């Protein structure tokens, strides 16, 4: 079994981005500028946004945090988004999800200027992705493909099973894995809560992408020998033995799955760092007026 070290790979890409930013600024161009809209004080969201701010500092980007209270109205959030849409100094931005339950998430996401949507969630971005047109790719799926590419994992002709059909991870990564691309060309089975015989389907998979949001859902018994396992999930589980009071678990039972997998991502330190670095890559594309292919 070989560990797919997303943290190490993300550090390499950050260094590459840092060099590109230095080239831009030496030519008189401004530094790329990434903004984030954070509504409320959800612990995981705050941690994630802070990690994005730190990553911006590391690669030489400017960053802006727009923080709104938990009880902010939909109108207030949309006003903040329109402010970013109209700010020519902002190259790209993200709206941190999940939003509070009283907010219409779909309405908010559609307010984002697609040319600045470095998270790739806008219907225009997703539609272009489906058609194979240049666009910002959703950050987590993009990070997953980069992990496969940087780890030299063959995907052509492989059977990939994606567990989870969210518009954030499951659905877009299933599209990217099957597209005609050096790190695509898979035959993809997309599974969800109503899929029958899930264990049997997973046992046929050369590549498993677990994005179901249930801690340790994928057991070793669901993984065939030599499969590649990508664990997207990250859930805080109470653990009084830890100083923090919790521990982080992925969607894969690492102890049993790692005994059978040829490659596997850890949690934390696997997909998470790649999501952040993908945002950085999209922001650089936005600053350069380019789109991902």
The first and second tokens of residue 156, run together, are: 């052509």
206-227 as b/e: b if 16+ CB within 10 A? bbbbbbbbebbbbebebbeeeb
Among 14, 52, 116, 128, which one carries the catalytic annotation?
Answer: 52
Q: Is 2 a catalytic residue?
A: no
Q: Is 52 a catalytic residue?
A: yes
Query: Among residues 39, 49, 5, 44, which one has the least CA distance to residue 237?
Result: 44
Per residue, the 3-state secondary structure of 246-269, as one string, reads EEEECCECHHHHCCCCCEECCCCC
CA distance 111 to 122: 8
Among 91, 96, 158, 206, which one carries the catalytic annotation?
Answer: 96
- CA count, 13 A, side-chain hemisphere, 75: 0
CA distance 73 to 39: 10
DSSP string, 93-136: EEE-SSPPTTS-HHHHHHHS-GGGBTT--SHHHHHHHHHT-S-P
CA distance 82 to 78: 6
Among 119, 206, 231, 251, which one carries the catalytic annotation?
Answer: 119
CA distance 51 to 34: 13
CA distance 251 to 149: 22
Q: Is 96 a catalytic residue?
A: yes
Query: Among residues 271, 264, 257, 269, which one has the least CA distance to residue 220?
Result: 257
Which of the residues are catalytic? 52, 96, 119
């Amino acid at each position: 079994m070989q560990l797919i070290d997303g943290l190490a790979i993300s550090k390499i890409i950050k260094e590459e981005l840092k060099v590109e930013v230095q080239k831009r600024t030496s030519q008189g161009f401004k530094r790329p500028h990434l903004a984030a809209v954070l509504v409320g004080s959800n612990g995981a969201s705050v941690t994630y946004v802070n990690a994005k701010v730190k990553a911006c500092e590391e690669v030489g980007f400017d960053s802006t945090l727009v923080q709104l209270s938990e009880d902010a109205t939909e109108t207030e959030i949309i006003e903040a988004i329109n402010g970013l849409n109209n700010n020519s100094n902002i190259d790209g931005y993200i709206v941190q999800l999940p939003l509070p339950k009283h907010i219409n998430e779909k309405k908010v996401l559609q307010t984002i200027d697609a040319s600045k949507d470095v998270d790739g969630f806008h219907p225009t971005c997703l539609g272009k992705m489906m058609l194979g047109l240049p666009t910002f790719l959703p950050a987590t799926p993009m990070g997953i493909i980069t992990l496969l590419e940087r780890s030299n994992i063959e995907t052509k002709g492989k059977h990939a099973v994606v567990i989870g059909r969210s518009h954030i991870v499951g659905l877009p990564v299933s599209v990217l894995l099957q597209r005609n691309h050096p790190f695509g060309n898979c035959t993809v089975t997309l599974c969800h809560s109503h899929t029958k015989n899930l264990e049997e389907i997973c046992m046929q998979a050369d590549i498993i992408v677990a994005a179901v949001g249930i801690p340790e859902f994928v057991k070793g018994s669901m993984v065939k020998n030599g499969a590649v396992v990508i664990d997207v999930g990250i859930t805080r589980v109470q653990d009084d033995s830890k100083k923090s009071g919790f521990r982080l678990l992925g969607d894969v039972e690492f102890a049993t799955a790692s005994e059978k997998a040829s490659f596997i991502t850890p949690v934390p330190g696997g997909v998470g760092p790649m999501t952040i670095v993908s945002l950085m890559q999209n922001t650089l594309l936005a600053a350069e007026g380019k789109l991902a292919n």
